[in-house]
């Protein structure tokens, strides 16, 4: 969650408050337009997408001061030549406004529709998703997983490894594909590690996310009198459910007689309380997810990666709650929250935010959240 003052935290917990929106356009490392006269500003994020974040807004073709916002030059504030939008949401605290950075977004398109320009922006990982190497990528000798990530990602985004898992040297014979984002995911899977773009625009690498507990919760959502959640809808699907993970690595050239041999480990769902457990009612057969990476060069690496992927995939197939709530401009993707409802079996239920829709303008409506629950 975005850090806020104690006063603002108390207001967001239930009091009425006034919100403000501020968009600044940056290009080539410099701000080129502050306080863009935008309306209908909306932000969405979905952890299941390759580029999770999206920002949309509209700007008048000509504003009240007679300024034209039609992007006719490559350095126009709404241009698509690398222009980035820094989005902030402010909350009135007394006579002042406390501003929260919601993130930095890359302008993807700007379309004139009548007397307004509709702008769509994507998260900064779009830079990686659209990029390609001219040939397959091969890291330098003695490169570590962290240094490979830096080589793949910077300078488009700054990589933050302060909270990353213990680094290790990658095999010298590794060759990656020509897609930067695919390669980033390969490194994170093999490490294993979690990564997300922060509200400050940094690519932050951390340990894999664990299931949150009540003590981890940063905000409590309720639907009772004076509560914050106004509608709850649960959903569940068999799609994506598995009861095991088969991971494959490869012994390096330095492994002597084992060099080049495949390393295989199968992680089974053996948790007795799990509805997907092996031998349980979900399926009489092994229903695995399989993946391989030459970055995993020992049995311990393969085992750890398989168990981590099993935990992540079990989480992806778990129960979700979709809700609308009073907008909370400090909540972010992956934040742990609790849910309490008299209408559902959700007494002190805990989960992580997997998708969020947040209006930035006053009167923009409710916030929409998808929370993946801990079963």
| Residue among 51, 194, 47 at smallest CA distance from 129 | 51
Q: Is residue 1 part of a domain?
A: no
Q: Are residues 230 and 254 in the same domain?
A: no
The whole-angstrom separation of Cα 339 and Cα 317 is 19
pLDDT at 187: 93
Clarify whether residues 114 and 179 are in a common domain: no
Neighbours of 166 (CB within 10 A): 8
The dihedral through the CA atoms of 50, 56, 62, 63 has a sign that is negative
Asked if residue 299 belongs to a domain, the reply is yes
Which tokens is 84 given?
Answer: 């980035």
Q: Would residue 256 count as lying in a domain?
A: yes
Any idea which residue has 């907008």 for tokens?
327
Both 230 and 354 in a single domain?
yes
Strand partners, 99: 90
DSSP of 105-157, one letter per residue?
EEEEEEEEETTEEEEEEEETTHHHHT-B-SS---PPTT-BHHHHHHHHHTTTS
- Residues 143 and 117 both lie in one domain: no
pLDDT in tens, the chain (375 residues): 888 887 777 777 765 678 889 999 999 999 999 989 999 999 999 998 999 999 999 999 998 898 999 998 999 999 999 999 999 999 888 788 899 999 999 999 999 988 999 999 999 999 999 998 888 778 888 899 999 999 999 999 999 999 999 999 988 777 788 889 999 999 999 999 999 999 999 999 999 998 888 899 999 888 765 566 656 666 667 777 888 999 998 888 878 888 888 999 999 998 887 888 888 888 889 989 888 888 888 899 899 989 888 887 776 666 778 888 888 999 999 999 988 877 656 667 899 999 999 999 877 788 999 998 886
Residue that terminates a domain, selected from 107, 125, 143: 125
C-alpha span between 375 and 320 (Å, rounded): 10
Between the two ends of the chain, the Cα-to-Cα distance in Å is: 23
What SS3 class is residue 357?
strand
Asked if residue 111 and residue 28 are part of one domain, the reply reads yes
Q: Would you state the structure tokens that stand for residue 333, as one six-digit string?
A: 């993707």
263 and 202, same structural domain?
no
Residue 128 to residue 307: CA distance in whole angstroms:
28
Q: Are residues 244 and 288 in contact, defined by beta-carbon separation less than 8 angstroms?
A: yes
35 found inside a domain: yes
Taken in order 107, 109, 110, 114, is the CA torsion positive or negative? negative
Task: Examine residue 86 and state whether it is found in any structural domain, yes or no.
Answer: yes
Query: What is the number of structural domains in the chain?
Result: 4
Q: Identify whether 71 is part of a domain.
A: yes
Per DSSP, 314 falls in state: H
H-type alpha helices, the chain: 6-12, 126-129, 145-153, 180-190, 299-316
The answer to whether residue 271 is domain-embedded is yes
Q: What is the extent of the structural domain holding 183?
A: 129-206
Residue 157: which of 133, 189, 180 has the closest Cα?
Answer: 180
β pairing state of 244-250 and 288-292: parallel
Q: Could you tell me if 178 and 133 are in contact, meaning their C-beta atoms sit under 8 angstroms apart?
A: yes
CB 181 within 8 A of CB 129: yes
Q: Across-strand partners of 204?
A: 160, 196
Q: Do residues 270 and 370 make contact, with C-beta atoms less than 8 angstroms apart? A: no
Q: Give the count of beta carbons closer than 10 Å to the beta carbon of residue 254.
A: 10
Exposed / middle / buried, residue 284 (Cβ in 10 Å: 0-12, 13-18, 19+): exposed
CA gap 2, 321 in Å, rounded: 22
Torsion-angle region of 299 (φ positive above 0: left; ψ -120 to 50: alpha; else: beta): alpha
**What is the sign, positive or negative, of the torsion defined by CA atoms of 240, 207, 2, 347?**
positive
pLDDT attached to residue 235 = 63
pTM, two decimals, is 0.84
Answer whether residue 171 is part of any domain: yes
Quick one: 26 and 76 in the same domain? yes
Distance set, CA 237 to CA 58, 168, 225, 318, 345 (Å): 36, 37, 31, 8, 18
**Domain check: are 228 and 362 in the same one?**
yes
Alpha helices in 166-238 (DSSP H): 180-190
Q: Are residues 225 and 350 in the same domain?
A: yes
Q: Which helix (H) or strand (E) holds 214?
A: none
The CATH number that applies at residue 347 is 2.30.300.10
Domain final residue pick, 316, 335, 361: 316
Domain co-membership, 153 together with 89:
no
Q: Do 221 and 343 sit in the same domain of this protein?
A: yes
Assess whether 229 and 355 both reside in one domain: yes
């Amino acid at each position: 969650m975005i850090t806020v003052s104690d006063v603002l935290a108390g207001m967001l917990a239930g009091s009425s408050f006034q919100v403000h929106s501020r968009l600044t356009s940056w290009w080539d490392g410099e701000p080129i337009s502050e306080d863009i006269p935008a309306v209908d500003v909306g932000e969405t994020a979905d952890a299941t997408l390759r580029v999770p974040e999206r920002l949309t807004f509209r700007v008048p073709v000509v504003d009240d001061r007679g300024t034209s916002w039609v992007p006719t030059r490559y350095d126009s504030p709404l241009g698509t030549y690398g222009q980035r939008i820094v989005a902030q949401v402010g909350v009135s605290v007394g006579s002042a406004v406390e501003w929260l950075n919601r993130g930095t977004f890359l302008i993807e398109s700007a379309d004139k529709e009548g007397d307004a320009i509709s702008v769509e922006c994507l998260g900064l990982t779009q830079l990686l998703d659209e990029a390609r190497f001219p040939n397959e990528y091969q890291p330098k000798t003695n490169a570590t997983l962290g240094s490979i990530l830096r080589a793949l990602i910077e300078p488009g985004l700054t990589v933050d490894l302060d909270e990353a898992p213990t680094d290790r040297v990658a095999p010298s014979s590794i060759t990656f594909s020509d897609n930067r984002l695919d390669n980033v995911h390969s490194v994170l899977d093999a490490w294993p590690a979690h990564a997300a773009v922060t509200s400050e625009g940094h690519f932050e690498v951390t340990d894999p996310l664990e299931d949150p507990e009540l003590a981890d919760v940063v905000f409590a959502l309720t639907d009772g009198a004076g509560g914050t959640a106004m509608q709850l809808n649960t959903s569940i699907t068999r799609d994506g459910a598995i009861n095991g993970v088969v991971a494959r690595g490869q012994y390096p050239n330095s492994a002597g007689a084992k060099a080049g041999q495949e390393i295989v480990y199968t992680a089974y769902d053996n948790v007795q309380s799990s509805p997907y457990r092996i031998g349980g009612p979900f399926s009489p057969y092994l229903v695995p997810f399989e993946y391989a990476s030459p970055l995993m060069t020992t049995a311990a690496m393969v085992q750890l990666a398989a168990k981590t992927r099993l935990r992540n995939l079990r989480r992806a197939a778990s129960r979700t709650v979709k809700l609308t709530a009073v907008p909370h401009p400090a909540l972010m993707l992956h934040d742990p929250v609790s849910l309490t409802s008299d209408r559902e079996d959700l007494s002190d239920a805990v989960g992580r935010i997997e998708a969020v829709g947040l209006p930035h303008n006053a009167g923009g409506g409710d916030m929409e959240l998808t929370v993946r629950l801990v079963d």
